[in-house]
């Protein structure tokens, strides 16, 4: 429930927005955006976690202190208008030089052997094309890994599995960028119907896959090599190999001391090679794609407002191919589904799209989920 004081302040904000013209270009609202500051109350109302909130909040506080002092009556309003969007005047820096990609995040400490180095030289030929598809998802993926305190090397899994092809399908009937089988994916929360397939949804399948990898890591003696082989070969198959090794007197259970299948060893070799390239591409004569250290896309709620991907592309100004790549879970052009999936939109287009479909004010925290509140219905309503 929104506190009474917040309601009064929010009402004041609505009045100011109406006076300044909610339907004008974003530049006309820049002064309003810099005047609003997030407070703990709104963070508790938002449904999304901010993985970098401490550093970003402190930077904004110091950079805009003079602006905030001019609008003390609004600093408690807890409405964030700028965070969900790309700011062309801001220098974000490179994702590859950020704390998300810091060397301390690579905790597996992979040291390639001769066979793995040879594999890396081969895989480097496809690295840049694969990363061209995956670059829009990299900030999200690295943020999710950091939030779960998982090794950054795991960002190489979709490189191995699919080359970041969201609609990839294997001969073994595995689906999506993380190549889940239907049975395993459904057991980790992924669903599919005639309109939407969460196995192809990068955000949904990433969350399910990382949860699965965490499960395998715990089940297999906190050993990432074994967890990764099990991800590819199956949990119970690896457990069977471990039992066999113990029965043969093996005390120290690792990927080197148990008799892995040829497929399991090949998978582990490919993973380590791609992980090494991802961490230090220059060693293999390739480069990372240019990626800003910022939220790359936003989930916009479109139910009842936009019926098709084609219409959304026109209203947002996003190329239809980009929109389909971000939203591969939709099986047709229709955005109508029994489950509300929303639409992932590049951050630089989110403002235009939200304005076009009638969302006026945004209550959210930084991250990849965006809750939009229409001005006409916001007064006196609860925000969940």
**Residues designated as active site:** 161
Question: How far apart are alpha carbons 341 and 136 in whole angstroms?
Answer: 19
Cβ neighbours for 218, distance < 8 A, ≥ 6 positions apart: none
**Nearest one of 140, 130, 183, 184 to 160, comparing CA atoms:** 130
SS (H, E, C) the chain: CCCHHHHHHHHHHHHHHHHHCCCCCHHHHHHHHHHCCCCHHHHHHCCCCCCCHHHHHHHHHHHCHHHHHCCCCCCCCCCCCCCCCCCCCCCCCEHHHCHHHCHHHCCCCCCCCHHHHHHHHHHHHHHHHHHHHHHHHHHHHHHHHHHCCCCHHHHHHHHHHCCCCCCCECCCCEECCCCEEHHHHHHCCCCECCCEECCCCHHHHHHHHHHHHHHHHHHCCCCHHHHHHHHHHCHHHHHHHHHHHHHCCCCCCCCCCCCCCHHHHHHHHHHHHHHHHHHCHHHHCCCCCCCECCCCEEEECCCCCCCEHHHHHHHHCCCHHHHHHHCCCECCCECCCCCCCCEEEEHHHHHHHHHHCCCCEECCCCCCCCCEECHHHHCCCCCC
CB atoms within 10 A of CB 194: 9
CB atoms within 10 A of CB 12: 13
């Amino acid at each position: 429930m929104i506190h009474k004081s917040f309601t009064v302040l929010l009402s004041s904000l609505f009045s100011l927005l109406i006076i300044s013209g909610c339907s004008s270009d974003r530049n006309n609202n820049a002064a309003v955006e810099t005047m609003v500051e997030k407070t703990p109350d709104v963070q508790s109302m938002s449904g999304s976690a901010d993985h970098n909130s401490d550093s970003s909040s402190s930077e904004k506080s110091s950079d805009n202190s003079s602006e905030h002092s001019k609008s003390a009556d609004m600093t408690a309003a807890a409405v964030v208008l700028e965070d969900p969007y790309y700011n062309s005047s801001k220098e974000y820096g490179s994702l590859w030089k950020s704390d998300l990609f810091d060397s301390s995040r690579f905790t597996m400490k992979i040291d390639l052997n001769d066979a793995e180095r040879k594999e890396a030289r081969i895989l480097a030929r496809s690295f840049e094309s694969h990363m061209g598809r995956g670059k829009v998802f990299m900030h999200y993926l690295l943020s999710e890994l950091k939030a779960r305190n998982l090794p950054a090397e795991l960002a190489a899994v979709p490189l191995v599995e699919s080359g970041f092809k969201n609609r990839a399908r294997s001969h073994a009937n595995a689906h999506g960028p993380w190549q889940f089988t239907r049975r395993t994916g459904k057991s980790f929360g992924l669903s599919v119907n005639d309109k939407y397939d969460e196995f192809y949804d990068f955000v949904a399948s990433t969350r399910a896959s990382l949860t699965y990898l965490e499960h395998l890591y715990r089940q297999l003696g906190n050993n990432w090599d074994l967890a990764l082989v099990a991800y590819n070969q199956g949990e119970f198959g690896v457990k069977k190999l471990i039992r066999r090794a113990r029965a043969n007197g093996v005390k120290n259970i690792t990927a080197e001391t148990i008799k892995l299948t040829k497929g399991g060893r090949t998978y582990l070799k490919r993973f380590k090679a791609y992980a090494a390239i991802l961490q230090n591409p220059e060693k293999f004569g390739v480069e990372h794609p240019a990626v800003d250290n910022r939220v790359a896309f936003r989930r916009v709620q479109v139910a009842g407002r936009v019926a098709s991907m084609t219409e959304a592309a026109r209203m947002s100004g996003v190329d239809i191919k980009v929109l389909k790549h971000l939203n591969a879970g939709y099986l047709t052009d229709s955005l109508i589904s029994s489950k509300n999936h929303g639409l992932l939109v590049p951050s630089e287009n989110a403002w235009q799209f939200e304005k076009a479909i009638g969302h006026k004010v945004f209550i959210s925290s930084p991250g990849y989920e965006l809750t939009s509140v229409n001005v006409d219905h916001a007064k006196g309503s609860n925000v969940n």
